[in-house]
Amino acid sequence: MVMTSIPPPAPQFPPHIEPRVWLLTSGDSPIAIALARLLLEHGDFVVAGLTPGELERNDERSAEFEELLQDVGQEGGPGGDWRDRMRVVGLDLRCASPCVSIEIQGNVDSEGNGRRDLAD
């Protein structure tokens, strides 16, 4: 019996009218970096949170995050307008809340609850 490798399906995002705002804690983790790239390619906004320890660390994980930041900062690079749609913030997970994203983007999307605007 010959086993063939089936490629994973391409990510499919639920339809929405406007770009969504995503708050990613541990923004320099490999999964957050991959997710940030997908979300930015899709046209959404990303707020990547880093704890004080993550901001001070200098290892392979932060090197991967630095590469993402370089792509975000390149004008006409792979990210195009990513620079306008991604923010990196210091985050203390003991008191993290969507307020960080609201202050930066004006709103935050939460699964199941829809969009939360400043007026809510």
Total domain count, the chain = 1
Assigned domain for 10 exists? no
Assigned domain for 3 exists? no
Assigned domain for 7 exists? no
Nearest to 93 by CA among 52, 46, 59, 42: 52
Q: CB-based burial of residue 45 (10 Å sphere; 0-12 exposed, 13-18 middle, 19+ buried)? A: buried
The angle formed by the CA atoms of residues 61, 89 and 12, to the nearest 5 degrees, is 70
pLDDT in tens, 75-108: 655 656 888 889 888 877 666 555 554 555 566 5
CATH number of the domain to which 35 belongs: 3.40.50
Assigned domain for 2 exists? no
Assigned domain for 67 exists? yes
Assigned domain for 36 exists? yes
pLDDT in tens, 27-75: 889 999 999 999 998 888 999 988 877 767 767 777 888 899 999 887 6
pLDDT in tens, 74-84: 765 565 688 88
Assigned domain for 6 exists? no
Query: Which range of residues forms the domain containing residue 101?
Result: 21-115
Assigned domain for 93 exists? yes
Q: What is the pTM of this model?
A: 0.68
